Amino acid sequence: MSASLPTFRLILAPMEGLADDILRDVLTRAGGYDWCVTEFIRVSSTVLPHSAFIRVSPELNRSSRTRAGTPVRIQLLGSDPDLLAANAAQVAQLAPAGIDLNFGCPTPLINRNRGGAALLDEPELLHRIVRAVRAAVPAAIPVTAKMRLGIDDTARALDCARALEAGGIQELVVHARTKQDGYRPPARWEWIALIRDSIRIPVIANGEVWTVADYRAMRSVTGCADAMLGRGAVADPLLARRIRAEEQGEQDSQGGPSDQWEHGGDWRNVAAMILDFWSQVQRKVLPHQSPGRLKQWLGLMRGRYEQADEVFLALRELRTAADVTPVLEQHLASVRG
């Protein structure tokens, strides 16, 4: 990459119930990511043992990196500053690539228990949490945060961002929706621009990036070159690689434009990723649980790849790994050729 080209970072988002260590492994080996963040680890009443952090992030046993070498930051969720600080100090003993604080989860159960986005009406509390965690963690370990724009409105978005900065975070990811917005489009990218202008630390934009064109539009509106990719990265497992190739003026492995997936996509590469994912899932969960994991991912890819839709429909009624494997291999046989 030429030194004159603009630099940017792409981060794989924490997605509860979806982006576990297996999917992180498969997606980061596809390429394009600078780091990723785990699903949140809920901190509610006690200091968790090391095994609780390693269970969510086995990468801690590999210098906090995926097999591709992508750094993995550990995300904590809670509302008690002292308890979060104590857990941050505990996970810091495992030398994570970073510690991230979740102020964005919109799940009702989490919010009823004062977690995630439910705290966005309390910038003073956000400040105390971050200050306590930062003080408990060695300076060499980055402490970052992810926030939404508010609970029902954006009235306190700037106050929250400033409180997090003042508490000592080094970078801020902003999901451009309120808790009430859920995941409904459009993302309010213009608010990320306002937050970026109101604080001095780096801001990473998040929300509604499904294509290379979306990334460019988001970058234009927010002024943020750095982006966190969530559901778009799951729907198109090659999205980060496409964005990086396009922004660097390169071509994909087939010699076509890097957004060629919109006209059919590089199914051979994706199919190989699916087979790898399926192999790993079977080793991790019980035989009756693994088909659900596979169908969950295929379901998200259906709108991007016609072939994923075909495979999903073929597997939809199957309930065990023994039933799924021969059908999956039949549909994806070409990738073994």
For residue 266, the model assigns a pLDDT of 87
Domain that holds residue 332: 266-336
In tens, the pLDDT along 1-12 reads 334 445 899 999
Last residue of a domain, one of 247, 282, 302: 247
Residue labelled with tokens 């046993």: 61
The answer as to whether 3 is a domain residue is no
C-alpha–C-alpha distance, residues 12 and 36, integer Å: 5
For 304-316, what is each residue's pLDDT tens digit? 999 999 999 999 9
Residue 198 and residue 306 in one domain: no
Tell me if 132 is assigned to some domain. Answer: yes
Query: Are both 194 and 296 inside the same structural domain?
Result: no
Q: What is the pLDDT of residue 326?
A: 96
pLDDT for position 336? 57
- 224 belongs to the catalytic site: no
Number of domains in the chain: 2
d(CA 45, CA 88): 14
User: What's the one-letter identity of residue 177?
Assistant: R
The list of the chain residues with pLDDT below 70 reads 1-6, 250-265, 335-337
The per-residue pLDDT for 257 is 42
Handedness of CA 235, 8, 207, 72 (dihedral sign): positive
Burial profile 54-82: b = 16 or more Cβ within 10 angstroms, e = fewer:
eebbbbbeeebbbebebbbbbbbbbbbbe
Please say which residue of 216, 247, 278 terminates a domain: 247
Q: What is the CATH number of the domain that holds 315?
A: 1.20.225.30
Q: Give me the pLDDT at residue 183, please.
A: 95
Is 100 in the same domain as 195?
yes
Quote the pLDDT of residue 248: 85
Same domain, 46 and 189: yes
pLDDT of residue 252: 44
- Whether 257 is in a domain gets the answer no
The whole-angstrom separation of Cα 140 and Cα 201 is 17
Is residue 260 a part of any domain in this protein? no
β-bridge mates for residue 204, sequence order: 173
